[in-house]
Structure 1
Amino acid sequence: MSDTPIKVILVDDHPLVLDGIRARLEDEPGISVVGEACNGQQAVDKARELKPDVMLMDVSMPVMNGFEATRELRQSCPEVRVLILSMHDNREYILQLIQSGASGYILKDVSSEEMVKAIETVHQGGTYFSSGASQTLFSRFDEPVSAAQDSGVLTRRELTVLKLLAEGRNNKEIARELDISVRTVETHRQNIKSKLNIQTAAGLVRYAIEHNLVQIS
């Protein structure tokens, strides 16, 4: 972990929620809340001005909602990681936000420790789903026939690693599940990125969903 705090902007249209989130994060030495916004348009403007590392953002907001803001940030501030914090445990919400460019989705009932872990994970280039969001989105894993499998682009082991990455697992968890070394997981991950020409974790998640590597039921 770098000694430089992760710069975070909080985005929610309820002042009490903003105050509560700020209070939960203010004692974290590795995180610095550098700004707040009450709608998506303000969030985009603040991102351009303050250049945060992570945007912790609600979905339902006036002027510009979380979907629109995420898409705009993906275009205008691609270096900013968007982490959605929402009360909506809804598959379509989660899926649409991932496809819009969000790097993670956590529910508002998560603990402070999990919120911090989510911020750190997306800042490091990973994806993060809280347990409730993960259960909603990835409710069934099958061995579907997919374009990726048919084409032979990825090996069977690479497909397995990609599925686990899409589920939100980190390298250590994948290594443990597959009984391989972390270095081997990292090699598979780099091979997957190279073969698919996708360099971000969020992009790999979108690919897995769009090619039916993850079944959503």
Structure 2
Amino acid sequence: MTFKQSSPQRVRLVLVDDHPLVRDGLRAWLEAVAQIEVVGEAGCGDQALQLAEQLLPDLMLVDIGMKDMNGIYLTEMLSARFPAIRVLILSMYEHAEYVTSAMRAGAKGYVLKDAGSHEIIAAIDAVVAGGTFYSAAAAKALMSPPPLAYGLTEREREVLVLLAQGLSNKAIAQQLAISVRTAETHRLSVRRKLGIDSAAGLAKYALEQGWLK
């Protein structure tokens, strides 16, 4: 693995992923690169924010699908509170909406978890040097025509977000200026298309998409 950073100073990096085995694997081969120092690990968003404040690392390698706080929202908070810290997303999701949401939140790069170690090192190098890096699949997703929210219409996506916020059919109907029956129809369609029946499951899905904070 070759790291091209021009400065001899080591890159201080924090790993953020809620799977200990994933963090262990990343740490093992990142620490094999002389210019990279893994100074901390976080298994949740709150812990990541604490480490950011305590350690002020150069870079945080952030997963999206965490239990307490999705990585896109965490990136937005890190960008607002610690603008000097660069965020590189490492995710299993390659859909354009994830990549776009990460960019808007302040991420400087987006790499898929199945990428080779050389690609992740190249991403770290580019981001630390002040640039951006997007893996080929993520870049391709951005250039593709945007899907209708994975089969959902725009109205169904609006209903999903409101359902995830805990609103009733009547409250959704009032907010969107539609009938209660229409709201119920959209709700049934959303659940059928996504295969998700519970409000908690819908909220989790909306969080993963970056539609709900």
Instruction: Report the counterpart of residue 61 of structure 1 in structure 2.
Output: 66
CA distances 1:145-166 after superposition (whole Å, capped 9, x unpaired): xxxxxxxxxxxxxxxxxxxxxx
1:87 is aligned to: 92
Is 1:96 paired with 2:101? yes
Which one of 19, 23, 38 corresponds to residue 43 of structure 2? Answer: 38
Name the CA distance, whole Å, in 2 between partners of 1:132 and 1:30.
Answer: 27
Cα distance in 2 for residues equivalent to 1:138 and 1:55 = 26
- State the one-letter code of the partner of 2:34: P
* In 1: Cα distance, 2:143 partner to 2:74 partner: 24
Quick one: distance in 2 between partners of 1:2 and 1:138? 33
State the alpha-carbon separation in 1 of the partners of residues 72 and 119 from structure 2.
Answer: 23
**2: CA distance, partners of 1:137 / 1:27:** 32
Asked if 1:7 corresponds to 2:12, the answer is: yes
Match of residue 124 from structure 2 = 119
What's 2:177 paired with? Answer: none
Unaligned runs of 5+ in 2: 1-5, 146-213
1:47 aligns with 2:52: yes
Secondary structure of the equivalent of 1:42?
helix
In angstroms, what is the RMSD of aligned CA positions?
Answer: 1.1
What does 1:120-135 align with in structure 2 at a 5 Å threshold?
Answer: 120-135=125-140
Question: What does residue 185 of structure 1 align with?
Answer: none
Deviation digits for residues 149-188 of structure 1 (CA, Å, limit 9, x no counterpart): xxxxxxxxxxxxxxxxxxxxxxxxxxxxxxxxxxxxxxxx
Matched, 1:27 2:32: yes
Deviation at residue 44 of structure 1 after TM alignment: 1.2
Match of 2:113 in 1: 108
Q: Size of the alignment, in residue pairs?
A: 140
Runs of 4+ in structure 1 displaced over 4 angstroms?
A: none
What CA distance in whole angstroms lies between the structure 1 residues aligned with 2:96 and 2:144? Answer: 10
Residue 21 of structure 1 aligns to a residue in which SS?
Answer: helix
Q: Of the candidates 11, 18, 21, which is equivalent to residue 16 of structure 1?
A: 21
**Identity among equivalent pairs (%):** 47
Aligned to 1:203: none
Q: Following TM superposition, by how much is the alpha carbon of 1:37 offset from its aligned partner in structure 2, in angstroms?
A: 0.2
Q: Which amino acid aligns with 1:112?
A: S
Q: 1:138 offset after TM fit, Å?
A: 2.2
SS at 1:136's partner residue? helix
The structural deviation recorded for 1:131 is 1.0
Q: CA deviation at 1:41?
A: 1.5
List gaps (5 residues or longer) in structure 1. Answer: 141-217
Quick one: which amino acid aligns to residue 54 of structure 2? E
